[in-house]
Structure 1
Amino acid sequence: MSSSSPHPAVLVILGPTASGKSGLALAVARKTGGEIISADSRQIYRELDIGAAKPSPDALLEIRHHFIDEKNIGEPFTAGYFAIEALKRIEDIRRRGKKAIIAGGSTLYLQGLLTGFSDLPEADPAIRKKLLEELDRFGRDNLYERLLERDPEQAATLDPTKTHRLIRSLEIIEITGKSVTELRTKDKRQGSGLCFCTLGLSMPREILYERINHRTEKMLDAGLLYEAEKLYKKYQLLLESGRIQALQSVGYQELFQYLEGKIDLTTAVSLIKQHTRNYAKRQLTFFNNSMDVRWETAPENDNGIEKLADRLAGMI
């Protein structure tokens, strides 16, 4: 939990994917007349609906949400931009006499808002070129082992299906001689005058994995494959060039492989579930290692959500 402040706390609801963050945030917003700030790297993009697990249209009409459907696919949306803009919106929400409720699971976005970033160096084209050449020559596993030796905490948060953060982490080490973990600055947000009440939703691992598998099936029933097919047809050239990071994410990349004929649909669905479970594990590792979180058992039903929401509403 963050340090005390003369102002009411800003509630942050975080946790692994499929833990029920959005439902709880909605319940608290209803009870407090609050507005929700989505700390999610994909929900800000138009056209990413089912795969990004956006709140329902009814929920978006009922409660004002921020950082949802605000950018077109291909537009940049960084953790640094989110941290700066979210602080502005929190101030505006409070100035209007309302409560700000932050909900999401994108680790870097939450870290940037709650603790700030150290002053990381700008990219070095020569070093990056060298690392990319080494990636092509030796493979991702070789570079990952190198990072694991120098910065195991950062390595534990990386997505094995992507390389951009791996390259960036090694680049920072080569430029500064220090790891990202060493450079990370704690409590940099104290100057904002905000007190964050950071609550995490937890549950037994087997239950979380069951929820992930069930949610994947619900997304498919709701039309995830059709959504992926539309996106693939519209952005195929950009996808082939690797220029749309938002679409290189779990739920879409596996279905794109199916649409390209590389795997069958059963395999694609199995991979979505597996990769989502892996992502949840990385989220938990990050939250436990890098953030000050008060953990609560995730409610199992609507009655449990209402009870927890009542308690949280009284804290903000």
Structure 2
Amino acid sequence: MQKTVIIIAGPTASGKTALSVQIAQLFNTAVISADSRQCYREISIGTAKPSPEELSAVPHYFINSHSIREEVNAGIYEKLALQYTSEIFEKNDVAIMCGGTGLYIRAFVEGIDDMPAIAPGIRTHLNEQFARHGLSWLQEQLQERDPGFYATAETQNPQRLIRALEVLDATGQSITTFRNATRAQRDFRVIKIGINLPKEQLHHNIHYRVDQMIQAGLVEEVRSVLPYREHNALRTVGYQEIFSFLDGYISLDQAIDDIKTHTRQYAKRQLTWFRKDPAFQWFDPRDTAAIITYVKQQAQ
């Protein structure tokens, strides 16, 4: 049998983790997380890591593997995920990849371009400007200085905008000049499964999950990582809103409402990203029988 990676992707709170564990058990194999935040040991509640039961059911890679003090990006992930894959392939013909970070999945499947090194001062300055002037400042800067990239950029994602401005400041060139269209050749087959729920059900899951995170101690978790608040991993939904609450700008109720709203918006962006890839076969995650039948057929 040809070595195969089964990728399970989709929006947050759609049921990827439970499905990936089920498929991994079917093939007696391991799961590689493709989530840009679950690798950090210090943040567990707000990242919706697999439960202890799920982690013990099958081996997992890229969960609690790094400290928040370490820089992890798509380029690093590509190399790590390829190492994990070859390790799994020593004992098994199939590996499972599960997650919602589209850029990480693309880096693993297609490769990612080497980006120029950025002096730390440039990033610090841009982060300070973002903290002072907000998202609209980043958008205006990029629209003015790199309209070509801005036209296709995720304009609501501050990390992506800061990254593009960093490259401009460091090299004087658009980030697009460092992206070439040569896809890496992989010596294994990839099967892509996309899962999604009806909108009302997905939104219900998101709201329920946020309430569970608050009950599980999200505020205390965010307080514990305050010294690292400038880190990219914490410039994300669930952490930024609680920082605003801890800073006294908004009430806890407002922070919770904002997390729910921003998570719904994030789920929509994830869907847009994955739907652009025609290789994904889409399923309702509750229809596990159909998913398993499809996977078995494809993996033969």
Residues 1:155 and 1:206: Cα distance change in structure 2 (over 3 Å):
farther
Question: Could you report, residue by residue, the CA deviation over 1:103-126 in whole angstroms, capped at 9, with x for unpaired residues?
Answer: 001122112111111233332679
Contact 2:30 2:95 in 1 (8 A): yes
SS at match of 2:298: coil
| Aligned equivalent of 1:100 | 95
Q: Which stretch shows the higher mean deviation, 197-206 or 34-43? A: 197-206
| Aligned equivalent of 1:70 | 65
Equivalent residue in structure 2 for 1:41, among 12, 36, 49: 36
- 1:197 matched to 2:195: no
Q: TM-score, normalised by structure 1?
A: 0.81
Report the Cα offset of residue 167 of structure 1.
2.5
Contact 1:9 1:196 in 2 (8 A): yes
Residues 1:204 and 1:185: Cα distance change in structure 2 (over 3 Å):
farther
How far apart in 2 are the matches of 1:284 and 1:21? 13
Contact 1:229 1:259 in 2 (8 A): no
Q: TM-score, normalised by structure 2?
A: 0.85
- 1:308 matched to 2:291: yes
Question: Could you report, residue by residue, the CA deviation over 1:153-194 in whole angstroms, capped at 9, with x for unpaired residues?
Answer: 6422642xx3x43132134356364453x653446231x312
Residues 1:114 and 1:139: Cα distance change in structure 2 (over 3 Å):
same
| 2:288 aligned partner, one-letter code | I
Equivalent residue in structure 2 for 1:274, among 243, 252, 261: 261
Report the Cα offset of residue 150 of structure 1.
2.1
Equivalent residue in structure 2 for 1:229, among 220, 237, 241: 220
| 2:94 aligned partner, one-letter code | K
Contact 1:35 1:93 in 2 (8 A): yes
| Aligned equivalent of 2:284 | 298
How many pairs does the alignment contain? 295
SS at match of 2:92: coil
| Aligned equivalent of 2:154 | 156
- Counting only pairs closer than 5 Å after superposition, residues 165-204 of structure 1 correspond to structure 2 as 165-173=160-168, 175=171, 177-180=173-176, 183-186=178-181, 188-190=183-185, 192-204=186-198
Cα-Cα RMSD: 2.9
How far apart in 2 are the matches of 1:109 and 1:143? 23
Report the Cα offset of residue 286 of structure 1.
2.5
Structure 1 residue runs without a partner (length 5+): 1-5
Structure 2 residue runs without a partner (length 5+): none
Report the Cα offset of residue 130 of structure 1.
8.2
Identity over the aligned pairs, expressed in percent? 35
- Counting only pairs closer than 5 Å after superposition, residues 231-270 of structure 1 correspond to structure 2 as 231-232=222-223, 234-239=224-229, 242=230, 244-270=231-257
Contact 1:74 1:246 in 2 (8 A): no
